[in-house]
Amino acid sequence: MSEYYVLANGVKMPKIGYGTYKSTDGSDERIIHMALEAGYRLLDTAAAYENEIYVGKAIKESQIPREELFLTSKVWKTNLGYEKTKASFEESLQRLQVDYLDLFLLHWPKPDPDCKNWKELDRESWRALEEYYHAGKVRAIGVSNFLPHHLEALMETADIRPMVNQLELHVGYMQEAAVQYCKSWGILVEAWSPLGRRRVLEEPIVQQMAKKYQVTPAQFLLRFLLQQGFAVVPKASSPERMRQNLELPAIEITTEDIYLLRCLPQIGWGGEHPDLERVK
């Protein structure tokens, strides 16, 4: 299996990255060092994770050449709009101590479900991202948690089509409509919470499948997504789990099992939806 996907603009993006949400516990950079030592080269962070400073510190200390890393960050939903997005992008660069990003995403399409002018806010943010892209400050631009109607609205005025859509995606929450839409426009879908934050790891069907393919449940869930062409950003807190999620045995899941798992009722949804109040 190749280690990269090629985005619509030709940029190569690692298929497996390290998800940093809550990984640093707001404290220091040790866990990021661990992830780099385990072999991760894509780090997924965001202004909202409040850990860019630790990610930046770790990559600087690691002395890994910048071009070997793939750094993703995101502008938070309360900072949508042209000026706020620009300020957020600049702050991310500063905290990460880099002069360009590999991927920058609009984190959510709306500041809140009742927001009336979200289309305008998204379009203005996107204009800022397009400018940074043309200026060579970011190698690829995209969105996160955008459903087809959010993407349609954005693409009405966009000059550049989003290259990536990062979505909650795992066994039990396959977002078929959004995935189909992205595929039809050549937008790579990157799965957040690919393990369903453990809720899915413990499902009996997942445990059975892992046994059948002789891998761990986490490895099975990641392979399931990769085999269908999705990128994944699992988060783990120990070197052993980090490596387990990166060094995946080369299993081939049967089409029958893939369909079976794609047709399950909803399992392990995190409770967040751009158009609805959060479900606890």
Residues designated catalytic: 49
Structure tokens at 272: 């967040």
Q: How far is the CB of 199 from ligand NAP (least distance, A)?
A: 9
Q: Which residues pair with 192 in a beta bridge?
A: 168
Q: Which residues pair with 143 in a beta bridge?
A: 106, 165
Given the structure tokens 């516990």, which residue do they identify?
Answer: 25
Q: How far is the CB of 105 from ligand NAP (least distance, A)?
A: 7
Q: How far is the CB of 51 from ligand NAP (least distance, A)?
A: 10
As a whole number of angstroms, the longest Cα–Cα distance in the chain is 52
Candidate list 71, 218, 246, 248; residue touching ligand NAP; CB under 6 A: 218
Which is closer to ligand NAP, CB of 84 or CB of 241?
241
Candidate list 236, 248, 253, 261; residue touching ligand NAP; CB under 6 A: 236
Between β-strands 101-106 and 231-232, what pairing exists: parallel, antiparallel or unpaired?
A: unpaired
Structure tokens at 211: 């046994």
Binding mask 39-58 for ligand NAP (x = CB under 6 A): -----x--------------
* 16 within 8 A of 246, measured Cβ to Cβ: yes
Q: Does 66 bind ligand NAP (CB under 6 A)?
A: no
Contacts of 121 (CB under 8 A, 6+ apart): 80, 81, 110, 111, 115
Taking CB positions, which residue lies at the least distance from ligand NAP? 19
Q: Does 238 bind ligand NAP (CB under 6 A)?
A: yes
Interface of this chain with ligand NAP, residues 172 to 211, rule: CB under 6 A: 192-198, 201
Which is closer to ligand NAP, CB of 98 or CB of 221?
221
Q: Does 233 bind ligand NAP (CB under 6 A)?
A: yes
Whole-number CA gyration radius for the chain:
18
- Pick the stretch among 24-32, 155-163, 227-235, 258-266 that binds ligand NAP (CB under 6 A): 227-235
Cα–Cα nearest to 149, from 118, 173, 124: 118
Q: Does 142 bind ligand NAP (CB under 6 A)?
A: no
* 55 within 8 A of 96, measured Cβ to Cβ: yes
Which is closer to ligand NAP, CB of 134 or CB of 212?
212
* 239 within 8 A of 209, measured Cβ to Cβ: no
C-alpha distance from residue 55 to each of 10, 22, 225 (Å): 26, 12, 26
Candidate list 38, 40, 244, 274; residue touching ligand NAP; CB under 6 A: 244
Interface of this chain with ligand NAP, residues 92 to 121, rule: CB under 6 A: 107
Q: How far apart are CA 86 and CA 136, in angstroms?
A: 14
Q: Contact residues for ligand NAP (CB under 6 A)?
A: 19-21, 44, 107, 144-145, 166, 192-198, 201, 216, 218, 233-238, 241, 244-245
